[in-house]
Structure 1
Amino acid sequence: MNAPNRHELFVLEDDEKALEVTEDTKIPNAATFKIVKQDHTVGNMLRAQLLAMPEILFAGYKVPHPLHPYFLIKIQTDGTVTPQAVLEQACTKLIGTMSALEAKFKREFSFKDGEAHGGTTAGMGAMGAEDPYGAGSGGAWSGQRDYLDF
């Protein structure tokens, strides 16, 4: 009814910028970034990544309204680096973290696929090879490798 069309929540228009920067005039070494067509998922990951960096004094985000597909993230640094540069570093680190997580995920499930298609693990009965959650024959508590073990 009032909600926008689904594609408007993630597809940028031709004249729309994905990022807008507003320098803060009242707080030194601070800026507010408007990140368009994203939501809490990216906002919270960016905030957490920024707060893990030693040169960050403050990092927080807010979604002004749930029907508007953007969030604002405010960053204040200690002055050794600009907020723009630290946001770029945080994005690069976050991409690296997500790539590593994806690689672990694929490796773990290719390991499980190998077991299910002929390979057996010591101590796993016929039930364990068919159960996608590894609950057969004692499951994760019996010392066997589980799909959540990274």
Structure 2
Amino acid sequence: MNAPNRYELFVLDDGEKPVEVAEDTKIPNAATVKVMKQDHTLANMIRAQLLAMPQILFAGYKVPHPLQPYFLLKIQTDGTITPAVALEQAATKLIGTLSALESQFKREFSLRDAESSAAAGAGGPGVYGGQLSGYADLQG
């Protein structure tokens, strides 16, 4: 059909830049950022992170066509920082947030595995029969 090969959706071509920033000439302190080989998932997270920053006046994105693996991110700041710096700060904060979320998931699953092992060793229910921590409190 018309759909590109799967690898073309996430593998950069030779010489292809992952991010291109173009300053807007009509709007002050604004830029359009083209992010290659990404989709709504990353675009929405970056947009939300940008909007949480007090220096950002506008942040939005669009995916021009579903068969083209890129999105356009429009950023306008209040002039205290450039859109490129704002994007870098938002990406850094987003990476930190996702790292914290990952460690919380790992900790919770390691606690669940420890509880399941203890219950199985004590003659209790097996791995799939054990309760998650805090689940019994929700049962009321």
What TM-score results when the alignment is normalised by the length of structure 2?
0.90
Per-residue CA distance 1:84-124 (angstroms, 9 max, x = gap): 0000000000000000000000000000000111258xxxx
- Matching of residues 125-144 of structure 1 within 5 Å: 126-127=124-125, 130-131=128-129, 134=132, 139-142=136-139
Asked if residue 41 in structure 1 is aligned to residue 41 in structure 2, the reply is yes
Q: Which 5+ residue runs of structure 2 have no aligned equivalent?
A: none
Decide whether the 8 Å contact of 2:19 with 2:36 is kept in 1: yes
Q: Which runs of 4+ in 1 moved over 2 A?
A: 125-134
Asked if residue 31 in structure 1 is aligned to residue 31 in structure 2, the reply is yes
Structure 2 counterpart SS, 1:72: strand
Task: Give the number of equivalent residue pairs.
Answer: 137
Give me the whole-angstrom Cα distance separating, in 2, the residues matched to 1:24 and 1:133: 55
Per-residue CA distance 1:29-52 (angstroms, 9 max, x = gap): 000000000000000000000000
* 1:53 aligned residue: 53
Percent of residue pairs identical: 68
Give me the whole-angstrom Cα distance separating, in 2, the residues matched to 1:20 and 1:33: 6
Q: 1:128 to 1:142 in 2, by over 3 A?
A: farther
Structure 1 counterpart SS, 2:21: strand
Shift, 1:140, TM fit: 4.6
What RMSD, in angstroms, separates the aligned Cα atoms of the two structures?
A: 2.2
Give me the whole-angstrom Cα distance separating, in 2, the residues matched to 1:3 and 1:109: 38
Q: 1:132 to 1:33 in 2, by over 3 A?
A: farther
Structure 1 counterpart SS, 2:93: helix
Q: 1:140 to 1:129 in 2, by over 3 A?
A: farther
What TM-score results when the alignment is normalised by the length of structure 1?
0.84
